[in-house]
Amino acid sequence: MSNQPGEIVAGVLAPHPPHLIYAENPPQNEPRSEGGWEELRWGYERLRERLDKLDYDVILVHTPHWKTVVGTHLLGLPHFASKSVDPIFPNLFRYTYDLQVDVPLSEAIAAEGEREGLVMKMMRNPNFRVDYGTITACHLVNPRWDKPIVVLSSNRAYFYYSNEVGDATMLALGRATARAIAQSGKRALLVATNSLSHRHFTVEPDPPEDMSHEHIYNMNQHLWDMRMLKLMREGKTRQLVAELPDFNEHAVSECSDGSLTWLLGALDLPSYPARVHAYGTVIGTGNAIVEWPHAEANAKAAKRADAEVAP
Amino acid sequence: MSVVRGYLVPHRPQPLLAPHLNPGYTDLRRAMEQVAAEIAALDVDLLLLYSTRWVSILGHQVQADPNPVWTHVDEEFHELGTIPYSFRMDPEFAEAYAQAARARGLHCRTVATHGFPIDTGTIMALSLLNPGNRLPASVVSCNMYADRAETLVLGKAAGDALKATGKRAVAVSITALSNRMFTEIIDPAQDRISSAKDDEWNRKLLEFLGEGRLEDVSQLARSFTSQANADSKCKAIWWLASLMGQHNRYEGEVLSYQPLYGTGAAVVRLVPSLKAAKDQEFDEDDTEFFHGDRGVLQSATPSAGAYASAPAEAAPVTPVAPVASRSPVAPVTPVAPAAPAAAPPASSVKVNTAQAPKPVGAYPHARREGEWLFLSGVGPRQPGTDAIPGGPVWDADGKPLPYDVEAQTRAVIKNVQVILEASGATLKDIVDCQVYLIDMRRDFPTFNKVYAELLGPSGATRTTVEVRALPTPIAVELKVVARLKA
Ligand SMILES: [Fe+2]
């Protein structure tokens, strides 16, 4: 690590349906499939090609499936290994994992979060099972598992009061995260792992990968998802955050767990266009793989500024 | 009575892992140990649990791993320690439970996966109430979308499963009362109910339960939920009240009521008693079968139930015109069958099947028009032999004979089912049903009972008329319209 300030190289919205791993048949996952959900899986391939060209030290994940009420929790031990079984789809996801945690960065985020007035708590029980959202997202973003991770829980308390209060808190958590990264001197990839619209079908086809049954739950969800993606592609993230409470309510969005808002807060509400690598549905929910090429956009902006001051 | 008594217990892990942190936690622990001793003295076969901490989305799930073993850590209170567990479940009962739930229109499946994340509530209840796994247990999940009607039907399904297996059980609902947790780190010694209002509502609820008025509490649950931020809308109480018979005739006792990180935690005992019935309100949510309370925004496109109709294996079909190929598992190269000249368009298809009785005229068993499926009138005759289950209603000379309308009705519905399945539909897809009886006064009650059992779950509209005669010596005929799922 140099004495350079740390940096966020990119932020991604990386949804975590276990179906995508089930469809891929990696050796870590027990159930076998005949494929399915190719649009989204190819989108993840395109994202990974882009990320392979970036140089980064650590992956930060904000996950909806570690739900806490007493503050935001962070993994606080260097190593976790176990088997992750999805409680909703145990037939699809039984994944053996072995992962490394960047504990110093996690602690720095907790300290910065407290400075923002947030309740922060370190998780130091070695028998803790890491949630399946985190495991799925990490596999899809970096199947080599060769980078340490930081995992932040989804704090339900503030969203209990209202979506607005929840989002404001997640923006503050994002700011705290960005400051901790800058101080660390590390290059970080940020992963918000949530679906967009999130009303599920309540029954599953047999086999689950029978794609003749896959479509968005209803038109309302599709329209809302497209609205959100349009704002992302146009770089209008301030407006997106302003519309999130309605989106959460009307499209039963998984954004109400705060992951996307945390990411946008950490990226300081970016105004450059995001790249949408794929959009697809999984058991009726809307899922988009979206990249905010943060370092690239900052470099371009710096170059433009230089050109403006040049004689 | 197959449920000999019911209990309410809390789910946050302090009484198990850290009872010493607060006298209230110690008291909850004492109450749960007392419950364990009471259960040990009972002659029962099974512990039947419902936990609000096991959340499901795809209908309900029932734990069917005979021996789930794991090392559990609570996602919120991980600093309190680790809970290693090894439990004894009843897989046969789980299958009966799931089957009973499906028979009542619910989506339900069993899970028996090693490493399945069993929830903190179930783990705490089984650890404290069932030391040494004296009794086998059965746990069902709490469906996130389920409302009261669906949860009442689930409770009834649990009762059906007890009846079917001949087991006697203790029912345990694992739930908080008011569920407003503190959102900051507190000193456990200073724990209290997070608001006076929640506390008052908890006490009101417990007063009712102490008087044994479980059904009243079940009906009050919605008010309690909006006033005191109840745990999962009180679903655990709905399940318990339904399973235990939907009345107020219990001896109730509150064994402990304490704060648990701001929430209301209680241990309550309810024993069915012979005391006189108290006034009880009519319950408009009460229903025997679940017909779905979702998808209210959908009109034309089925969605919530869209998956139910994909037949894994359709009965043999003799298509008069080409039938669209249905759900092959292995990849196939679609070959368009050469359509005979002047064949009806692909969306208009006649269906005949050797599995149903031969039509008595120039008509097919069914005709499909787009997504609609129209069945010809179907009677009880047996395919191949034309024998009439329950006997013909008159002999060759037209002399009336005694006949069994129940057997005839069952045979009619079986024939309808066969034709539907040959057309890629199921009984559940029936949207309208016309019934012809030759003797309304004699046969309607019996017919109506069988119909409720076999076709009630379809939720179809129905018209029943009496006719003087049917073309063959039968007493009942059905004419149905079904809609094929996308
Ligand atoms: Fe999720």
Please give the C-alpha separations between residue B294 and each of A6, A168, B152, B298, B299, in angstroms, as whole numbers: 49, 32, 16, 9, 12
> Can you give the pLDDT at residue B295?
42
Is B307 within the bounds of a domain?
no
Of B154, B238, B85, B142, give the one whose Cα is nearest residue A88.
B142
Segment B112-129, tens digit of pLDDT: 999 999 999 999 999 999
What is the rounded distance in angstroms from the CA atom of residue A248 to the CA atom of residue A250? 6
Distance B458 CA to ligand 1 centre (A): 32
**Residue of B81, B261, B308 with shortest CB distance to A203:** B308
Span B289-303, mean pLDDT?
Answer: 49
CATH no. for residue B456?
Answer: 3.30.1330.40
For residue B323, pLDDT over 60 is answered with: no
B272: pLDDT confidence band, cut at 50, 70 and 90?
very high
Chain B within 8 Å of A46 (Cβ-Cβ)?
no
Cα radius of gyration (chain B): 27
| Secondary structure element (H or E) that encloses residue B250, with its range | strand B250-260
Question: Is B333:B313 a contact under the CB 8 Å cutoff?
Answer: no
Whether residues B357 and B229 fall in one domain: no
What is the rounded distance in angstroms from the CA atom of residue A298 to the CA atom of residue A291? 14
Please give the C-alpha separations between residue B267 and each of A271, B58, B93, B240, B389, in angstroms, as whole numbers: 54, 30, 26, 14, 54
Percent of chain B with pLDDT over 70: 87
Q: Please, what's the b/e burial string for B98-115 (b: 16 or more CB within 10 A of its CB; e: otherwise)?
A: bbbbbbbbbbbbbbbbeb
Segment B365-382, tens digit of pLDDT: 999 888 899 999 999 998
Q: Is B81 helix (H, G, I), strand (E, B) or coil?
A: coil
Last residue of a domain, one of B272, B306, B331: B272
Residues in A closer than 8 angstroms to B54, CB to CB, are 87
Segment A151-180, tens digit of pLDDT: 999 998 876 778 888 899 999 999 999 999
| Position with higher pLDDT, B310 vs A45 | A45
> Can you give the pLDDT at residue A129?
98
β-strand pairing of A285-292 with A275-282: antiparallel
The residues near B235 (Cβ < 8 Å, ≥ 6 apart) are B50, B52, B142, B146, B151, B175
B319: pLDDT confidence band, cut at 50, 70 and 90?
very low
What is the rounded distance in angstroms from the CA atom of residue A157 to the CA atom of residue A309? 48
| Secondary structure element (H or E) that encloses residue A309, with its range | helix A294-309
Whether residues B98 and B219 fall in one domain: yes
Last residue of a domain, one of B242, B272, B302: B272
Residue B113 lies in domain? 3-272
Distance B102 CA to ligand 1 centre (A): 26
What is the rounded distance in angstroms from the CA atom of residue A285 to the CA atom of residue A263? 21
Q: List helix spans (H) across B334-382.
A: none
Question: Is A238:A269 a contact under the CB 8 Å cutoff?
Answer: yes
Domains of chain A: 7-309 (3.40.830.10)
**Residue of B111, B185, B304 with shortest CB distance to A202:** B304
Segment A39-87, tens digit of pLDDT: 999 999 999 999 999 999 999 999 999 999 999 999 999 999 999 999 9
B309: pLDDT confidence band, cut at 50, 70 and 90?
very low
Measured between CA atoms, the residue of chain A closest to residue B71 is A127
Chain A within 8 Å of B59 (Cβ-Cβ)?
yes
Is B44 within the bounds of a domain?
yes
Residues in B closer than 8 angstroms to A206, CB to CB, are 310, 312
Of B178, B197, B174, B204, give the one whose Cα is nearest residue B260.
B178
What is the rounded distance in angstroms from the CA atom of residue A239 to the CA atom of residue A257? 19
> Can you give the pLDDT at residue A162?
80
Is B277 within the bounds of a domain?
no
DSSP string, A70-89: SSEEEE-SSEEEEEEE-SS-
Q: How many domains does chain B have?
A: 2
Contact B303 A201 (CB under 8 A): yes
For residue B461, pLDDT over 80 is answered with: yes
Cα radius of gyration (chain A): 19
Contact B116 A87 (CB under 8 A): yes
Flag the least confident range among A275-284, B14-23, B33-42, B215-224.
B215-224
How near does any CA of chain A get to the CA of B75, in Å?
A: 7
Contact A119 B117 (CB under 8 A): no
Residue among B113, B260, B290 with most chain A CBs within 10 A, to mutate: B113
Structure tokens that stand for B422 in this block: 């040959």
User: Which DSSP letter does residue A203 get?
Assistant: S
Question: Is A51:A141 a contact under the CB 8 Å cutoff?
Answer: yes
Flag the least confident range among A10-24, B331-345, B375-389.
B331-345
Question: Is B249:B233 a contact under the CB 8 Å cutoff?
Answer: no
B276: pLDDT confidence band, cut at 50, 70 and 90?
low
> Can you give the pLDDT at residue B316?
36
Structure tokens that stand for B108 in this block: 């339900």
> Can you give the pLDDT at residue B458?
85
Whether residues B103 and B193 fall in one domain: yes
A16: pLDDT confidence band, cut at 50, 70 and 90?
very high
Is B331 within the bounds of a domain?
no
Q: Give 3-state DSSP helix, strand, coil % of chain B, rounded to 5.
A: 30, 25, 45
Highest mean pLDDT among A103-112, A150-159, B417-426: A103-112
> Can you give the pLDDT at residue A158?
74
What is the rounded distance in angstroms from the CA atom of residue A60 to the CA atom of residue A105? 10
Contact A284 B303 (CB under 8 A): yes
- The answer to whether the peptide bond before residue A207 is cis (omega within 30 degrees of 0) is yes
Rounded to 5 degrees, φ, ψ at B17 are -95, -30
Exposure on the CB side of residue A256, measured as CA atoms within 13 A: 20
Angle (CA) B353 B356 B359, round 5°: 85
Is B327 within the bounds of a domain?
no
What is the rounded distance in angstroms from the CA atom of residue B239 to the CA atom of residue B106? 14
Q: What is the interface pTM, i.e. ipTM, of the complex?
A: 0.93
A287: pLDDT confidence band, cut at 50, 70 and 90?
very high
The answer for A63, left when phi > 0, alpha when psi is -120 to 50, beta otherwise, is: beta
Is B411 within the bounds of a domain?
yes
Distance B90 CA to ligand 1 centre (A): 30
> Can you give the pLDDT at residue A219?
94
Chain A within 8 Å of B79 (Cβ-Cβ)?
yes
Span B36-47, mean pLDDT?
Answer: 97
User: pTM value?
Assistant: 0.76
CATH no. for residue B154?
Answer: 3.40.830.10
Chain B within 8 Å of A100 (Cβ-Cβ)?
no
What is the rounded distance in angstroms from the CA atom of residue B481 to the CA atom of residue B461? 10
Last residue of a domain, one of B245, B272, B299: B272
Is B359 within the bounds of a domain?
yes
Distance A163 CA to ligand 1 centre (A): 18
> Can you give the pLDDT at residue B285?
75
For residue B339, pLDDT over 50 is answered with: no
Count of H-run helices and E-run strands, chain A: 10, 10
Whether residues B49 and B176 fall in one domain: yes
What is the rounded distance in angstroms from the CA atom of residue B177 to the CA atom of residue A272? 48
- Amino acid at position B270, single letter: L
Query: At CB < 8 A and 24+ separation, what contacts does A156-164 make?
Result: A156/A67, A156/A68, A156/A69, A156/A257, A157/A69, A157/A70, A157/A71, A157/B181, A157/B183, A158/A258, A158/B183, A159/A256, A159/A257, A159/A258, A160/A69, A160/B183, A162/A245, A163/A244, A163/A245, A163/A248, A163/A249, A163/A256, A164/A245
Is B191 within the bounds of a domain?
yes
Whether residues B14 and B149 fall in one domain: yes
